């Protein structure tokens, strides 16, 4: 009997050792579940690697990890997504659709719909009296697309990116993030968009919770009250969370309702976000060009070049105190001698931009970021001193002046350890690893549903939870 027990015990030890060796030295299984951040402006997809315990945000073929949430439908049964769609907006903005996330699962009254549709260069109409649909006209043929369908095109693109990168036949399951204030209709519509893209949604988690997961706040001692400051390309949202181990409770949310300004060169609208900051600089440079050359710039190619230069300059000023903007303006020409003959050549516009000037141009906009912070804290019955951690999310939080203003308000250092554009995607990637039972085991997020209402801030006024 003793010998038998010894043999059994030895066999178990051998199996355990073999399993350890296999886990340590054999290649881990390819991720079966992805995490998806379907954003208003940009979207991305991530995976959790079993064995390594790391999350990677998947790049496209050019190494870009964030994809514009833009869909162009130039003809029937043909569509483009992301950067390719963005390029088409320079030629026919009426067939380039974006902001689907603002419409998904929404029920519109006539008054609200009429206000919304004026903000876009493409056609939007109401179906069944309440549902907004996007209208793509192709000659005599008109096609209607729900927000779920537009979003499904973006999700299909992300799905294909993941399949190509991971070298798998099909990616079929995902964890997705949604705004904390999304109601059941909006959440179900998001799940439907994924279904249309051939993706089964195993779980939805809120964007603030995803960001908190990415930063590992559930593992930190003495971190209970957390503010998630999310400033992206077109939105600003501030969330107050209570973190108790793996439990995340959203106490309050406040954000700016975007302020409409029709700008043909900026996809037709403007929000409190990175695009606003770009537009202030763009307006300044347009004025400089007009004063310098006596000519108002209207050429589409030149406007596009200037817009790209503005975005690049803003990014460079994150780390540099000044940068040179230099572009060719094809619509402006000068006579130049070439082999003793005068030839018309494009003007090269050069401008030395300092960070100080960029901050001066955007001074009033930068100060507006404090209003949703104040509103969210007040709704949560908290003061700035009560906050243990401030997490920065969204690409526009890289702007040094934004960080200074927020840090100064809370009188503490900000948590900027993770790429702010990828924080939500990393968080849903962690939760995807949990759902896949990947090793090492992560703490699953337990959320208490947000049952209150988001505080909407309209420029200088606060709309208290309508």
Active site (catalytic) residues = 37, 101, 207, 230
Q: Is the peptide bond before 384 cis (omega within 30 degrees of 0)?
A: no
Residue 3, CB half-sphere, CA atoms under 13 Å: how many? 0
CA dist 267 and 180 (Å) reads: 26
Contacts (Cβ under 8 Å, ≥6 apart) of 164: 61
Contact between 205 and 166 (Cβ < 8 Å): no
Token pair of 460, please?
A: 């200088």
Residues in the chain: 466
CA dist 316 and 122 (Å) reads: 32
Contacts (Cβ under 8 Å, ≥6 apart) of 263: 269, 270, 279
CA dist 174 and 161 (Å) reads: 14
- What stretches of 89-214 show up as alpha helix (H) in DSSP? 100-103, 110-117, 147-166, 184-196, 207-214
Q: What are the backbone dihedrals phi and psi of residue 420, each rounded to the nearest 5 degrees, phi first? A: -65, -25
Contacts (Cβ under 8 Å, ≥6 apart) of 71: 79, 80, 81, 85, 96, 97, 98, 100, 150, 153, 154
Which of 280, 257, 260, 278 is CA-nearest to residue 270? 260
Q: What are the backbone dihedrals phi and psi of residue 427, each rounded to the nearest 5 degrees, phi first? A: -60, -45
In whole angstroms, how far apart are CA 77 and each of 64, 73, 98, 142, 144?
A: 26, 8, 18, 12, 12
Q: What are the backbone dihedrals phi and psi of residue 112, each rounded to the nearest 5 degrees, phi first? A: -65, -40
The dihedral formed by the CA atoms of 211, 215, 219 and 222, expressed in degrees to the nearest 10: -90
Q: What are the backbone dihedrals phi and psi of residue 2, each rounded to the nearest 5 degrees, phi first? A: -65, -40
Question: How far, rounded to the nearest angstrom, does the alpha carbon of residue 1 sit from its chain's CA centroid?
Answer: 65
CA dist 229 and 375 (Å) reads: 13
Which of 256, 176, 288, 236 is CA-nearest to residue 402? 236
């Amino acid at each position: 009997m003793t010998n038998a027990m010894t043999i059994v015990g030895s066999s178990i030890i051998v199996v355990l050792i073999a399993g350890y060796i296999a886990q340590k030295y054999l290649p881990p299984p390819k991720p079966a579940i992805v995490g998806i951040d379907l954003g208003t402006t940009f979207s991305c997809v991530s995976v959790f690697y079993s064995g390594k315990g790391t999350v990677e945000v998947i790049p496209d073929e050019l190494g870009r990890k964030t994809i514009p949430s833009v869909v162009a439908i130039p003809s029937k049964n043909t569509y483009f997504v992301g950067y390719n769609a963005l390029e088409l907006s320079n030629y026919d903005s009426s067939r380039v659709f974006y902001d689907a996330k603002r419409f998904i699962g929404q029920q519109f009254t006539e008054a609200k719909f009429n206000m919304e549709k004026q903000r876009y260069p493409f056609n939007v109409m109401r179906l069944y009296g309440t549902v907004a649909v996007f209208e793509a006209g192709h000659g005599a043929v008109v096609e209607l697309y729900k927000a779920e369908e537009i979003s499904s095109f973006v999700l299909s693109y992300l799905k294909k990116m993941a399949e190509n990168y991971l070298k798998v036949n099909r990616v079929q399951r995902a964890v997705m993030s949604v705004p904390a204030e999304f109601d059941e209709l909006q959440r179900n519509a998001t799940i439907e968009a994924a279904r249309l893209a051939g993706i089964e949604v195993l779980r939805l988690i809120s964007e603030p919770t995803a960001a908190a997961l990415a930063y590992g706040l559930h593992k930190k001692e003495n971190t209970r009250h957390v503010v998630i400051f999310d400033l992206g390309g077109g939105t600003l949202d501030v969330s107050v969370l209570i973190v108790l181990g793996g439990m995340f409770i959203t106490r309050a949310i406040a954000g700016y309702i975007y302020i409409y300004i029709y700008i043909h060169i900026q996809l037709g609208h403007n929000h409190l976000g990175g695009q606003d900051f770009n537009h202030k600089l763009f307006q300044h440079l347009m004025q400089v060009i007009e004063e310098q050359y006596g000519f108002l710039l209207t050429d589409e190619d030149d406007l596009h070049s200037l817009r790209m230069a503005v975005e690049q300059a803003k990014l460079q000023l994150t780390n540099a105190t000044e940068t040179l903007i230099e572009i060719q303006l094809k619509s402006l020409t000068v006579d130049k001698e070439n082999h003793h003959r005068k030839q018309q050549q494009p003007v090269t516009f050069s401008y030395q931009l300092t960070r100080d000037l960029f901050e001066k141009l955007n001074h009033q906009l930068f100060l507006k970021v404090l209003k949703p912070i104040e509103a969210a804290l007040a709704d949560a019955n908290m003061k700035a001193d009560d906050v243990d951690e401030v997490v920065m999310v969204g690409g526009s939080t890289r702007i040094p002046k934004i960080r200074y203003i927020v840090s100064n308000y809370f009188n503490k250092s900000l948590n900027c350890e993770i790429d702010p554009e990828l924080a939500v995607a990393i968080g849903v990637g962690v939760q995807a690893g949990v759902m896949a039972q990947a090793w090492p085991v992560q703490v699953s997020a337990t959320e208490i549903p947000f049952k209150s209402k988001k505080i909407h801030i309209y420029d200088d006024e606060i709309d208290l939870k309508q």
